[in-house]
Amino acid sequence: MQQPQAPKIAKKITQHGHERTDNYAWIRDDNWKQFIKGELNFADENVKTYLNQEAKYTEHVMSETKELQEQIYNELLSRTKEDDSSYPYQRNDYYYYRKTTEGLSYPTLCRKYKTLDAVEEVYFDINKEAEGKKLYMHRGAIPNEAKTHFAYCYNLTGSLDCTLKVRDFASQTDFEWKLEDVSSSFYWVDDTTIAFTELDEFTRGKNLYYMNIHEGPDKKKLVFSKPDKFENRFMFDTRTTNNEITFIYLVSGASHAIYKKNKNEQEFKLIADAKDDIQYSYEYNNGTYYILTNDMNNSNFAVYSCEEENIDKPDSWRVVIANSKNLFLRHMSLYGNKLVLSARNSETAIDDICVYDLTDKKMQTVPFAHEIKSVSLIGAHDHNATDLQVSFENPITAPQTLELDTNTLSLKVLKQKEVPNYNPENYVLKREFAKAHDGELIPLTIITRKGFTAHQEQNSAYVYAYGSYGYGMPPFFRTSMFSLIDRGFAYAVAHIRGGNEKGYDWYLNGKMRKKMNTFKDYISCCEHMVESGYTQKGQIVANGGSAGGLLMGAVTNMRPDLFQSVIADVPFVDVINTISDASLPLTPPEWEEWGNPIENKGDFEYMMQYSPYDNVEAKNYPAMLYNSGISDEQVTYWEPAKMVAKLRELKTDSNILLLNIKMHAGHAGETDRYKGLKEAAFNYAFALTMK
C-alpha cells in the first residue's frame, strides 16, 4: 500500500519580520472544538479523508506485526493480577477501596462497614457506567460525611471537561440533575452541599459554586468568580488537611495567584499575587498557618509559619524549615503536630519522605529499604492521625502500600502488589549520571536483565523522558517494560532538565530561553548509553509524550543518527503556531513556560531554534510512530498530523513513518485497561520491528 501524501496548500505567515510557509495548516478543521465533545462533524471532508488514509496506512503496515502484538499483549496480561484490590482507607465508619475483576475493563468501588471482615458493598461499578460508551473516563467519587450520598464525575471523550452527578447510597439512584462542563475538582462543603468549579470556554475554570444537592443547579450559589485580570489562568481549589481553609489557585506556568477563605467566612481574599516561577502551598491548625514556598530566594523551598493577620505579609513570617541546597521540598501535609513532607535529594534525584515535629522542632527522614525509589504520601482521613499510608515502588520492585508511624518512623507493609510471572531477582537496577554539554550530571535510571553484557553489537536501548513543567519522572514500576528488557533491551529513564528531579532550579534551567538544555540533556543521556555499552548508535528507541513528544520531535531533528525508531505520544510539535495562537485553550497559560512569541521577538527566535515542525529538513530520519487522539485539546490532533505530513514531504529515507490517530480518545489515550495493554503491545511491536 502506498503511503499517504497530504496535499500542500501554502499559507504564508509573517512574524517579527520572519516569513514562513505552512503547507499543512489546512489539516486543522474548523469544527475541531466539536471533536473535543465527541462529535466528529468535519467541516472539511479533505481533512477527514486524509486522516482516514493515514489510519488505513498505519493498519496496513502494522498488520504484519499482528502476531507479535498478540504475543506481547499476552505477556503483559500474564503479568497482570486481574482480580485485585487497593488497600482500604478508613473514612469514619467505613473502609473504602477499589477492586478489579478478571475480564472487566474498569474497577468497582467498594466499602465495608466498621471492619475489614464486614460484608463487601459495591457502591459504584464503573463497568456498568461505561457500558455502550466508546470511552469512559472516571474522574473520582467522594462520599459525604453522613455516608448518605456520594458525588462522582466522568468524561466520555478524553477531554478535560467533566459531568458531575450525585448518587444516593441506599437506593443507588442519581438525582435527576447533572452538572456539565465542570472540572474534576469537587468536594463536600457539608452533607447536603457540593462545591464544584464551572469551566470557561477554554476549560481553564471560571466560577466556584456551592449547591444544595436536594435543590439542584437552579439554586446553585456563586462563591467565587475568577477576576478578569486572571482570565488566562487555570483555576484549581484545595483544602487544608483539616478542611478548615479553602484555597483557590489561579495558575499560569509556574506562578500562582492565591485566594483564601476560612470555613466560617463568606468571601475569598487574595493572599498572594502572581510572581513568575513563585509557588505556595498551605496548611493550617490551631490558629497557625504553615506555608511551603520558594519565595524569598528559597530555590529548594522552605516552610514558614504565621498567624491569620500576617498570611499575606511574607516579611512577618517565621522560618520553620530553612531552604536546603540538597533537599527539595515538594509537598507538605499537616497531621497533628507533625509536618509530613514529600522531598527529593537534589544531588541523587531520589525521593524521600521527611517528618518535622513542630513540638521539638526536629526533622527526620523516613528510612526506606531501597535507595532507588519513588515514594509518596497517601495520608489519612483523620487530620490528627499518627499512622499514615505511604506508597513505595521502584522499577524492579512492585508498588507497596505502607503504614508510616510518624512518631517512630517505623514502616509496616499493608499491601504488596502481586505481579504474576515476574521475578525481581532476574533484573538489575542502576542509577548512573550522564555528563551534559555544560558539565551538569544528568541522572539516568537503567534497568537490564541479569546477565546483560555490555558492548555487544546487538544491544538495543529504550530511552524514555519528559523534561517539562517541573514534572519529575520518578523511578516507577512498569510491568510492560519487561517485554523489551526480556528481549535484550536496556530500559532507561532520563531525568533531564525541565523536570524537577534535582530540585526547582533543574526545572528553571530547562524552560523559556534555557529550553535547549532539555534536548541536549536527552542527547547526552543517549550518548552515555552508547559509550557505556548499553547500546550502539542507531539502536536506540526514543519515547516521550505530550511535552515529551516535543522532546522527541526536537531530538529527532537534531540527532536522527542516534535512533533506530521514535515513538511520540500525543506530541506537542507545532510549537510556534500553537504558542502564537491565543484562541487555543492552553496557549495563554503556556507563555510563562515557553515564552510569548506573539509579543517578544527574542522568544520567537529562540523557539524557532527547536520547534519540531519548523525544523524538519530534507535528510534521513529513523522510523517514527506518532500517536494521537482526536478529542485532545491539550495537544490538538493536527500537530502530529501536520508533522507527519511535512516529514513525508521532506525526509530522504525509506523508513516507516506512521500516524496512529484514535477517533475516540483524548490526551490520556485508552481508559479500558485491556485496550491500554493493547496500546502498549502496539508500540512495542513497532519498536521491535521498525529498524
pLDDT at 163: 97
Rounded to the nearest angstrom, the gap between the alpha carbon of residue 535 and the centroid of all alpha carbons in its chain is 29
Q: Is the pLDDT confidence value at 596 over 80? A: yes
Exposed, middle or buried, 302 (CB in 10 Å: 0-12/13-18/19+)?
A: buried
Question: Residue 687 pLDDT > 90, yes or no?
Answer: yes
Pick from 248, 257, 255: nearest CA to 224: 248
Nearest-Å Rg of the Cα atoms of the chain is 25
Q: Mean pLDDT over all residues of the chain?
A: 95
**Residue 649, pLDDT score:** 97
Q: pTM for the complete prediction?
A: 0.96
- Residue-wise DSSP of 5-17: -PPP--EEEEETT
Residue 253: per-residue pLDDT: 81
**Rounded Cα distance, 268 and 548, in Å:** 37
Of the candidates 345, 294, 347, which has an alpha carbon nearest to the alpha carbon of residue 322?
A: 294
Give the tens place of pLDDT for each residue, 375-431.
Answer: 999 999 999 999 999 999 999 999 999 999 999 999 999 999 999 999 999 999 999
Task: Tell me how far apart the alpha carbons of residues 514 and 417 are, in angstroms, rounded to a whole number.
Answer: 40
Give the mean model confidence (pLDDT) for residues 647-659: 97
State residue 631's pLDDT score: 92
Q: How many degrees, rounded to 5, is the angle at CA 545 between CA 539 and CA 547? A: 115
- pLDDT per residue over 476-531, tens digit each? 999 999 999 999 999 999 999 999 999 999 999 999 999 999 999 999 999 999 99
Model confidence at 182, pLDDT cuts 50, 70, 90, reads very high
Mean pLDDT of 559-567: 98
Write out the three cell numbers for 118. Answer: 464486614
CA distances from 374 to 31, 53, 231, 398, 477 (A): 42, 43, 36, 11, 9
Per-residue pLDDT, 690: 86
Contact 526, 562 (CB under 8 A): yes
What pLDDT does residue 369 have?
Answer: 87
List, for residues 55-90, the tens digit of each pLDDT value.
Answer: 999 999 999 999 999 999 999 999 999 999 999 999
Phi then psi for 376, rounded to 5 degrees? -150, 155
Average pLDDT over residues 157-173: 95
Taking the C-alpha atoms of residue 242 and residue 235, their distance in angstroms, rounded to an integer, is 22
Quote the CA–CA distance of 536 and 531 in Å, as a whole number: 8
DSSP letter string, 410-467: -EEEEEE---TT--GGGEEEEEEEEEPTTSPEEEEEEEEETT--SS-TT-EEEEE---
Distances (CA, A) of 388 to 99, 264, 398: 21, 28, 20
In the predicted model, is pLDDT for residue 675 greater than 80? Answer: yes
Average pLDDT of the residues in 581-597? 92
Residue with cell 509573517: 14
- Predicted confidence band of residue 263 (pLDDT cuts 50, 70, 90): confident
Q: What pLDDT does residue 264 have?
A: 86
| Rounded Cα distance, 296 and 158, in Å | 40
pLDDT digits (tens, 9 = 90+) for 265-305: 889 999 999 999 999 999 998 899 999 999 999 999 999 99
Per-residue model confidence (pLDDT) at position 386: 96
Report d(CA 550, CA 609) in Å as an integer.
13
Read off the pLDDT of residues 199-235 as tens digits, 9 standing for 90 and up.
998 899 999 999 999 999 999 999 999 999 999 999 9
Looking at residue 433, what is its pLDDT?
Answer: 98
Q: What are phi and psi of 486, to 5 degrees?
A: -70, -15
The arithmetic mean of pLDDT across residues 570-574, rounded, is 97
In the predicted model, is pLDDT for residue 691 greater than 80? no
pLDDT of residue 486: 97
Measured CA to CA, the distance from residue 445 to residue 491 in angstroms comes to 8
pLDDT at residue 254 is higher than 90: no
Tell me what the mean pLDDT of segment 637-650 comes to: 98
How many C-beta neighbours within 10 Å does residue 421 have?
11
